[in-house]
Structure 1
């Protein structure tokens, strides 16, 4: 299941906590809406970020919109781009392999 917080559906596990109040059994989709949903990458599957700047504790990039050279700049959200943080279209291959639907973040100047 792909979510806004999980770029690679194949490498994430969906965990649904039980409802706070005990209620009669309900379909799983109803219980999921009432409970808290947590998505986390599976370390054994490669995680969401397979290879980009792994030596850093957290990958963070800052770009000032007025300093962009193009009027529309695509930024990677799939963590597969060879030009990270810019998008190079690698999400197309990722989506085909995993069934995900991730695309770039488009920043307008």
Structure 2
């Protein structure tokens, strides 16, 4: 990369010296999915046949905080209060 920039008529050192460096904000990363199916490379909610639901409306978690995941237990309310987020469940109707 440095040789490409130097070949263009200026050096890497002069390029970095003339451009102010922008610092990215430091964000503490937390896992959204702390414990559900961690042996899977990618966790996707399974297909749900809504005709076979036992209740007229079934709520599925989208905040990954539910103690009864994948069903919603209302944990998103506390999550939203703490983070200022507005996530809610996925409601499937029969």
TM-score interval, smaller chain: 0.5 to 0.7
Could you say which residue in structure 2 is the equivalent of 1:45?
A: 29
Deviation for aligned residue 1:50: 2.4
In the alignment, which residue of structure 1 is the partner of 2:40?
Answer: 56
More strand by share: 1
How many residues are aligned here? 67
TM-score, with length taken from structure 2? 0.64
Unaligned 5+ segments in structure 1 are 1-41
**Higher helix share goes to which structure?**
2
Q: Which has the larger radius of gyration?
A: 2
In the TM superposition, what is the alpha-carbon distance from 1:75 to its structure 2 partner? 0.6
Task: Give the TM-score, by structure 1 length.
Answer: 0.56
Structure 2 gaps, min length 5: 1-26
Q: Kindly report the root-mean-square deviation, in angstroms, between the aligned alpha carbons of the 2 structures.
A: 1.5
CA displacement, residues 63-106 of structure 1 (integer Å, 9 cap, x when unaligned):
11111000111110001111111100010111111110100011
Partner of 1:105: 90
Query: What is the distance in 2 between the residues matched to 1:108 and 1:55?
Result: 31
Q: Which has the higher contact order (CA 8 A, sep 6+)?
A: 1
**Deviation (angstroms), 1:62:** 1.9
